[in-house]
Amino acid sequence: MGVTTFYDDTILDTLLETDLYLILCTADPTAAATGASCNEHPDSGGYERQAIGAATWAASSGGTKATGAVIAFPEATDNWTEITHFAIGDSGTYGAGNIRYIGTLTAGVTVSTGEIFRFPIGALTVTVS
C-alpha cells in the first residue's frame, strides 16, 4: 500500500519539529551510525554541532522538507578536516546521541582558520522513503 504526498508531508513536519543537531562528518556516517560512531569532525578548531529546531525548516512540500534558514557553524579557530558528509542527530553533545538522518555533500569542503561554514537556505533536504 502506498502513502499519499499529503501524508509524506505530515510525517516530515512531525519528525522534524523537535530540536535536532546538524553534525559535520569527515567520512560516510553509515546507516548504523550513532553519535559516537558517525565520523564526526574532531572536537577542535571551534567546531560544534549546530541546533536545527522546527523554525530551521520550511513547510514540507511534495514529500520533501528543506531548510528555510541559513545554518552557520562557528568561525574556525584552526583549519578543519575536510567535510564530506553530514548527519542529523538528537544530541548537541559531541560524540553523543542517536543519528536520525545522514547525507553526502556534493563536494568535500575544507574550512580554513577564520572561515564560517554555512548551509544556505534550501541546501539540506529530507525526504520520506
What integer pLDDT is reported at residue 104 of this predicted model?
A: 95
- Write out the three cell numbers for 105: 555533500
Cell numbers given for 120: 544556505
Q: What is the pLDDT of residues 72-120, one digit of tens each?
A: 999 999 999 999 999 999 999 999 999 999 999 999 999 999 999 999 9
- Supply φ then ψ for residue 25, to 5 degrees: -125, 150
Is residue 27 included in any domain, yes or no?
A: yes
Domain-embedded: residue 39 = yes
Integer angstrom CA distances of residue 80 from 21, 59, 63, 76, 115: 19, 33, 34, 7, 10
- Compute the C-alpha angle 112/113/115, nearest 5°: 70
In a domain? residue 128: no
Residue 51 belongs to some domain of the structure: yes
Look at residue 75 and tell me if it is in a domain.
yes
- With respect to residue 124, please indicate whether it lies within any of the assigned structural domains: no
**Each residue's pLDDT tens digit, 10-53:** 988 888 878 899 999 999 999 999 999 999 999 999 999 999 99
pLDDT of residue 110: 95
Q: Give the structural domain span for 89.
A: 5-116
pLDDT at 1 exceeding the cut of 90: no
Residue pair 67/57 in contact (Cβ under 8 Å)? The answer is yes
- Residue of 106, 88, 98 whose CA lies nearest to 50: 88
Domain assignment of residue 101, yes or no:
yes
Residue 123 placed within a domain: no
Evaluate if residue 67 carries a pLDDT over 80.
yes
The total number of structural domains that make up the chain: 1
